[in-house]
Structure 1
């Protein structure tokens, strides 16, 4: 039965990868719950398991043991088609490399996610322009990625993630390739979208700037939860 309060339930999740003749345990017995509208982060050094956990929550991977229940669906039970459907309709992704398609305009890059959903042209146009307006790029709709800055490129990636109004956005080191000013601008944009749309945002990061916006910080060390910290007063208020 779906837990109406928790949009993500991680129950005794362990993840192992084959390495040569043996196995590497990337996650060990993780138990976490995330409520709708949280602005939270998985924080830890490289190799702590944060990206692995984010990938499981995004249905890009599944646990070796335990359950990852996202929007009432057990990730391990989903077929490839069902997992793709969950991602296409309900989960937005923002990565440190924003992977914009260079031959398409900003508008077309954002629109692509909607074409997969068979949404009509007029409705697609409105949804894309709304998303570009959210990130302050409505005047750059006709530009190609080569003609915009790195910070603008990451904002296009946020618009692409948000255009379908997903319930969950997973952001893996989204500020890694940005200078401080652009990093703050990106985080402020995401926090405003979190406030306005009640979208659940989960970050994987070790960037102090990102941590300054988070309302909850899950510290991972060697694939285990070392601390689960709720922040009563964030460093950067929005």
Structure 2
């Protein structure tokens, strides 16, 4: 049986005002993703990678075309509905970890659950499980200022994954990491992708990231120039 797409992008165009004119960031993009893909958008700066991720993540809306995510039309969602979609179904990881400095590691991860209907005991179980996924249970009482860069990004992954989202959006997640930490983070993400069947979508120009991807979409000047399935060089971890 053919898998039903959880993300369907049809003829999506995105324009931004540029002085008295307009700038076309995306032009007639057509893409579909099913559950469990480990995929990335690759291209030079200004190619439209982040704009496309923002639309899929319901942080922005297309100017034209249709973007369906988890059965919802991004264009039709209100601000409240967009927030609910993100809160329930989409996790985000950025190159800047955006951890709350006054909170502990545990509290930073738990923060993602506070707007949902979980009991305190359920939250504790979910947070500790997420910290176990990323190997940080022993640092749960530390504050972000006491963490290394790699540890900070692992907390960000735990925070994004604690609610077990169907979609995880990672925008240049290894940009601020050295090679050893980058590979540790990527192996961790690949393992979560395989165990939880979460769809991972990356925006990257990092060769290290590309070696882990199963599908690469090349963007240039807001258009898809290549969409290819690849064999991750590092295989199943």
Whether TM exceeds 0.5 here: the answer is yes
Unaligned runs of 5+ in 1: none
Query: What residue is the counterpart of 1:126 in the other structure?
Result: 125
Query: What residue is the counterpart of 2:100 in the other structure?
Result: 101
Deviation at 1:235, TM superposition (A): 1.5
Query: What residue is the counterpart of 2:81 in the other structure?
Result: 82
Query: What residue is the counterpart of 1:202 in the other structure?
Result: 201
Query: What residue is the counterpart of 1:91 in the other structure?
Result: 90
Give the Cα separation in 1 of the matches to 2:115 and 2:224. 36
Give the Cα separation in 2 of the matches to 1:228 and 1:172. 19
Query: What residue is the counterpart of 1:152 in the other structure?
Result: 151
1:236 maps to 2:234: yes
Unaligned runs of 5+ in 2: none
Moved over 6 A (4+): none
Give the Cα separation in 2 of the matches to 1:94 and 1:234. 21
Given the two structures, how large is their TM-score scaled by the length of structure 1? 0.97
1:25-70 CA deviation, whole Å, 9 max, x = no partner?
0000000000110000000011000000000000000000001000
Deviation at 1:234, TM superposition (A): 1.5
Deviation at 1:236, TM superposition (A): 1.5
Give the Cα separation in 2 of the matches to 1:84 and 1:234. 33
1:99-143 CA deviation, whole Å, 9 max, x = no partner?
000000000000001011131111100000000000000111000
Equivalent positions of 1:166-181 (< 5 A) are 166-181=165-180
1:51-99 CA deviation, whole Å, 9 max, x = no partner?
0000000000000000100011000000000000000000000000010
Give the Cα separation in 1 of the matches to 2:6 and 2:117. 26
Query: What residue is the counterpart of 2:24 in the other structure?
Result: 25
Query: What residue is the counterpart of 2:38 in the other structure?
Result: 39
